[in-house]
Amino acid sequence: MIENKTQDEISGAKRKTKNTKNTKQKTIRERWKRTALHNKMLVFISIFGVVSGIIYTVATVCGVYFSEYHHAREHRPLVVFIRTPEFLSPLSCEITDREIHVHQFRVRVWLKNIKTEDAVGVFIVPTYKLIPLKKTGVPKLDDPPAVTDDTCTHPFLVPKDEKMFPLNAGQQISIENDSALAQSFYPQVIEPSAPMEFYAAFCAYYSDTEGRQYGTCNRYRLTLPDANVTFPCTKSLIIGILQLEPFSFCEN
């Protein structure tokens, strides 16, 4: 009898709890139904005010951010290559059983700061490469110098003995550079008489007066007077012009 009574009491308590929850739910709904229309309007207006305040705050923050971004883009130096780099001496190359050699040559490049802010710490990094027309399957030998968004990121370390200079707003300069090239490869991968292509990539890195860093890179390919872009590496001198490759530039 005692056990049965206890079970009855437990069952009654559960029903009472359930009825209480339903009563509370019904009470909230009934209160809202009984709320006067003008009070409901006040609730909606309050919610609308809170949401509007959040939207206004977000819009204000975004507006300030884009305003500062636009100001920084407009008031910054921008160094560009205003002319195609020019060879001041002919090229001469040869291929041995282990290396590609390009003998010393001289190139002139033109730079200009086309914005209204001064550039400081300007320096140029040229990259030259001969690649075979017939691919070897080795990317290091087959691919031209890379020019990507990462290439335009200012390097953490300035190359050794690299001369840095300022470039004021609107200032234009030309720079002459002496270079030579030696590319190693596995024996007999490239034949001595193999047709080759010559690529040159130029990157100009610089900073503004507040220390923000920037970069501009272009890649060019050598074109011969007969419009051919391939030539064998013999002891004869090679004369041609550099032409900008489509979609082979970046700017940071």
pLDDT in tens, 10-33: 555 555 555 555 555 557 667 666
Predicted local confidence at residue 29, as pLDDT:
67
Residue 235 or residue 119, greater confidence: 119
Domain ranges across the chain: 2-74, 79-251
pLDDT class of 158 with cuts at 50, 70, 90: confident
Lowest mean pLDDT among 28-42, 81-95, 174-188, 193-207: 28-42
- Quick one: pLDDT at residue 2? 43
Nearest of 150, 169, 120 to residue 217 by alpha carbon: 150
Q: Which pLDDT score is estimated for 242?
A: 96
In single-letter form, the type of residue at position 232 comes to P
The DSSP secondary-structure symbol of 92 reads -
Residues 6+ apart with CB under 8 A from 190: 95, 100, 132, 136, 141
Taking the alpha carbons at both ends of the chain, their separation in whole angstroms is 88
94 Cβ partners below 8 Å, 6+ apart? 100, 101, 192, 233, 234, 235
SS3 assignment, position 250: strand
pLDDT at 1: 44
Which among 61, 111, 83, 87 is positioned nearest to 198, based on CA atoms? 87
Burial call 162-192: b when 16+ CB within 10 Å, e when fewer: eeeeebeeeeeeebeeeeebebebeeeebee
